[in-house]
Amino acid sequence: MAAALLLTVIAGLATGLGGLAVFLTNRTNGSFLALSLGFSAGVMLYVSFVEILAEASDLLSAAWGPGRGTWGMVGGFFAGIAVIAVIDRLVPHQANPHEFAYQPGDAEPDAAFAAPAADSRLLRTGMLTALAIAIHNFPEGFATFASALGDPSVAIAITVAIALHNIPEGIAVAVPVFQATGSRARAVGLSFLSGLAEPLGAVIGFLLLRPFLTDALFGAVLAGVAGIMVFISLDKLLPTAEKYGGHHLCVYGVVGGMAVMAVSLAMLG
């Protein structure tokens, strides 16, 4: 149990390792921000559609049968989107990043970093991304812990693979927070905090949730997490990346993020 928990902690702290990317750039580097946010969106989209939804469908199908399980996965996915969309709409207009748009007559993107609206938008993006990743890491931590307990011989390989795909998640949190606040310590600290949800999920899952957590409930939660991550990517990360770095840099970042996630999931498999 101690070894399984240690491996879960290592995997979770890799999110903070990704946050150290803020030491490789300056606050006005719009191109780096665009690539990083696009990269992170690619990670979140790929893992949602390829891994999380597939796992949710398998769990729900095993509990309810193939037909009902598929509909349960679809319902959970769009329920997650609905929840985060409602939260987004409840945010006041002045602080809502969804309502902030770069217009052709505005200052150039790099110069816009000094604008309070841009800072507010980026900070909100980083905070929401941290929340989404923490929610994602919570059940992932329990799953990692349980896998390590079940098959110790592959525990190290699982930890390495999960740590690899946690690193770009840390970038997704830290870069917008740093660009908004100028504080590397705050950016790295928030990325580490979001990663700590993984061992926390392992501990709580083992002590409290395991007797009550059915495959159906776990599958529905995973589907909802996928919906939240897809919404964050499409509504927050990609528009911000395109605004600060242009269309092509945004797309290059997305493809790079998908490639890294594909390799890490292949290692995990």
Look over the chain and give the mean of its residue pLDDT values, rounded to a whole number.
76
Which tokens in the block code for residue 249?
């840099």
What is the number of residues in the chain?
Answer: 269
């011989």: which residue's tokens? 153
Is 90's pLDDT higher than 50?
yes
CB 166 within 8 A of CB 29: no
Which tokens in the block code for residue 188?
């790295």
Arithmetic mean of pLDDT, 82-106: 56
Name the more confident of 230 and 1. Answer: 230
In percent, how much of the chain has pLDDT > 90? Answer: 12
């921000």: which residue's tokens? 33
Q: Annotated binding residue at 96?
A: no
Which tokens in the block code for residue 196?
């700590």
| pLDDT at residue 85, rounded to an integer | 85
Q: Could you report the per-residue pLDDT of 238-253, keeping only the tens digit for each?
A: 887 887 777 888 899 9
pTM: 0.66
- Ranges of each domain in the chain: 1-19+30-93+118-268
CA–CA gap between residue 261 and residue 168 (Å, rounded): 9
CA–CA gap between residue 198 and residue 4 (Å, rounded): 12
Q: Could you report the per-residue pLDDT of 29-84, keeping only the tens digit for each?
A: 678 778 877 887 888 888 889 888 988 899 899 999 999 999 999 999 999 899 88
CA–CA gap between residue 248 and residue 18 (Å, rounded): 23
CB 14 within 8 A of CB 166: yes
Rounded to 5°, angle at Cα 16 from 222 and 88: 50
Q: Annotated binding residue at 99?
A: no
| pLDDT at residue 8, rounded to an integer | 85
Q: Annotated binding residue at 136?
A: no
Q: Annotated binding residue at 169?
A: yes
Q: Annotated binding residue at 137?
A: yes
Q: Annotated binding residue at 51?
A: no
In percent, how much of the chain has pLDDT > 70? Answer: 76
Arithmetic mean of pLDDT, 184-213: 82
CA–CA gap between residue 179 and residue 32 (Å, rounded): 10
